[in-house]
A and B are shown apart, each in its own frame.
Chain A
């Protein structure tokens, strides 16, 4: 399962280099055609077992980038000011450990010790403009030896097994999609399809735009890690998706309405193959589907997600069975739609 190695790799939107490198190295040696485009998307065409002449061109997409930060200025004291890359709740940032720049300089997002705070101060949530990263530098000159303005910053989180059958780590949105896509590429006896490992999804599904334009597929399935909020603070109908209930099928989000025929196709397939599935009971958020559906003359698009708790924070949690069921469903879809 590639997720274990993919998850810890720093790869904030605009800085997907290392993730791309890892994926390239994992690709099969034969039976694939690999190219980069100028935005950094990795497009992999898999030549599978012979399929019928007019089989649709299927594109599977997963994004390599994660949310993170960027250094915006350096204080005289050597503390670093930063801005968010992608959507993050300011309140999740404080007291976290990070890695800065190409050299992966370790740092922490510090805050004033509670002992030193007045009551009113403690009641207000932190805002990013009041936070800073400490890399242990004595001064601005000292800091500039290691980092510079524009450096990307990612959370430093390791990947671990938790509970009975769950995993915990960062960037499950969407390293989980990348992991599934890699597994599909490595499998033998598969039909042909194109895998697009996209960039910059978190800042407005930017990479998917050029990838979709280049590929102009007939059908596209976007593989995501989506929000599961099956936690005590949320009411039943606010869960969006539930861990352990299988891959979540999107009906609609703010960027795309899933093609109804594809959706029905997936539901029938899941029922036939006894794969548990659920609907994503939430219409918020956006994905690469938004760009892919509208590229060129248009593409029929669906989105399948692995439910993950706490996305867009340093540690997400997912359930193994959901991962494998998602993989199984997509595989069944490919076999069913091409031969």
Chain B
């Protein structure tokens, strides 16, 4: 299956934070042909394990984390006319929800729309006002009785958007590319590793609940305690109105982060491997804790040296996220070459860094 098709399936799968089952099962089936063992842990993290080639009682391990969850909505009330009030799970710009198609996961899946007020009925004064979640509603076109039968407080709602390939370019658009693109990248890496020899054991982890506080990464890292961790997430893609220092150009490869959340030896090694294999990349300067699973991985137990590789995405946290598939391919390759390259000596170098 081409990576574009893998990404399409992943993008269209549902997996709002805390309710990642569908996305997790799909990801599991996609990892299956390339790994030795697959399981789900206490909080639902997907752990796909591929054994390393080093003959040793204790093989070193590397943990690659991409998050399975996407931002979504949650029902807070079914009102007297069958309309649904909601709140958010994860960060949303309320202005991007007005007119958005959604799927309410009640007793069965119900398509609906976050109904905007028709422009004809909007007064001059209202037109300039801030849009707030509490003033919005989801319309599933059901009567109060029927709605109450099928929908309850606490049901999740996912954003509905069909995946789309753009013309004359390798760009694609869809919802949840944050971070299904990361998952697709890990699958790509797993595929590549089939044809490579690597000393390290590899854990491909689809973490849960990253969008609400990197919660899955906290517990999955704690269980596995790898020697090295790499988070694979998305970063901001270039677009008008955003400065160069805050974004990465699409189609120029993945971004490798540097900063206090990143182990300097790992950051340098990733750059070295990229240069060696002519994989173009961008450097992302992160002056503090990164808003990704790397933040949790680094400080688990006695600490895990970690790095962060990101795929540039435009319009993050909207249903029309855009990525360049070549960036995804390159990120997958970079990680595969990196894993094939590292060995005990390298691990020692990481540990000896002073």
Contacts and interface: CB of A to CB of B under 8 A. Distances in A.
Given A20-B354, A70-B259, A206 B245 contact: no
B299 A13 contact: no
A85 interface: yes
8 contacts: A70-B285, A83-B245, A83-B287, A84-B287, A149-B258, A203-B260, A206-B260, A206-B298
B302 A71 contact: no
B258 to A, nearest CB: 4
Given A37-B303, A71-B285, 7 more contacts: A38-B350, A70-B259, A73-B244, A84-B287, A204-B288, A210-B303, A214-B302
B287 A209 contact: no
A81 B287 CA distance: 13
Interface string B282-295: 01011111000000
B259 to A, nearest CB: 6
A200 B301 CA distance: 16
A39 B350 CA distance: 10
Q: Classify chain A's interface size.
A: 20 to 34
A20 B302 CA distance: 19
Contact of B354 (A13, A36, A84): A36
Q: Classify chain B's interface size.
A: 20 to 34
Binding site secondary structure of chain A: mixed
B288 A213 contact: no
Given A72-B285, A206-B298, A85 B303 contact: no
Contacts of A14: 259-261
A15 B263 CA distance: 10
A39 B300 CA distance: 11
Given A13-B260, A17-B354, A70-B259, A150 B283 contact: yes
A104 interface: no
Contacts of B259: 14, 70, 85, 150
Contacts, number: 82
A261 to B, nearest CB: 28
Interface string B247-259: 0000000000011
A39 B285 contact: no
A72 B245 contact: yes
A81 B285 CA distance: 11
A21 interface: yes
Nearest to A42: B354
Interface string A1-31: 0000000000001110100110000000000
Contacts of A214: 302
Most buried by A among B244, B259, B301: B259
A15 B285 CA distance: 13
B24 interface: no
Contact of B302 (A38, A85, A129, A199): A38
B285 A150 contact: yes
Contact of A38 (B243, B244, B303): B303
Contacts of A57: none
B351 interface: yes
B216 interface: no
B221 to A, nearest CB: 12
Nearest to B247: A73
A148 interface: yes
- Please list the 7 inter-chain residue pairs (A to B) with the smallest Cβ-Cβ separation, ordered nearest first: A14-B260, A150-B258, A73-B245, A210-B303, A72-B245, A38-B303, A70-B287
B305 interface: yes
A213 B304 contact: no
A18 to B, nearest CB: 11
A172 interface: no
B244 to A, nearest CB: 5
B351 A149 contact: no
A40 B351 CA distance: 10
Nearest to A75: B244
B354 A39 contact: no
Contact of A210 (B243, B299, B350, B354): B299
Interface in B293-330: 298-299, 301-305
A167 interface: no
A20 B353 CA distance: 12
Contact of B285 (A86, A149, A209): A149
Contact of A39 (B246, B267, B288, B298): B298
